[in-house]
Amino acid sequence: MGKLENKVAVITGAGSGMGKQIALQFAEEGAKIVAVDIDTERLEKLESDIIAMGGDVSTFLGNVAKTEDVKAMIDMAVAEYGTLDILVNNAGIMDSFEPVGEVDDSQFDRIMKINVEGPLKAMRKAMSIFLPKNEGNIINICSVGGLHAGRAGASYTTSKFALVGLTKNTGYLYSKSGIRCNGIAPGDISTNINDNIDLTKITEITKDRILAGVPLSPHSASPDVIAKAALFLASDDSSFINGEILVVDGGWSVY
CA distance 97 to 130: 37
**Overall average pLDDT of the 23-45 stretch:** 98
**Overall average pLDDT of the 75-91 stretch:** 98
**Overall average pLDDT of the 10-14 stretch:** 98
Which position among 156, 172, 174, 255 bears the catalytic label?
Answer: 156
Query: What band does 178 get if pLDDT is binned at 50, 70 and 90?
Result: very high
Query: What band does 214 get if pLDDT is binned at 50, 70 and 90?
Result: confident
| Mean pLDDT, all residues of the chain | 96
Three-state SS for 228-245 is: HHHHHHHCHHHCCCCCCE
CATH of 8-254, one of 3.30.450.20, 3.30.930.10, 3.20.19.10, 3.40.50.720: 3.40.50.720
Is 255 considered catalytic here?
no
Q: Which residue has the higher pLDDT, 76 or 194?
A: 76
**Overall average pLDDT of the 80-96 stretch:** 97
pLDDT given for residue 102 in this prediction: 95
pLDDT digits (tens, 9 = 90+) for 89-106: 999 999 999 999 999 999
pLDDT digits (tens, 9 = 90+) for 226-253: 999 999 999 999 999 999 999 999 999 9
CA distance 166 to 138: 11
Give SS3 for 195: helix
Contact between 122 and 10 (Cβ < 8 Å): yes
pLDDT given for residue 197 in this prediction: 79
Burial 47-58 (b: 16+ CB within 10 A, else e): beebeeeebebb
153 closest CA partner among 192, 120, 113, 111: 111
CA distance 35 to 73: 9
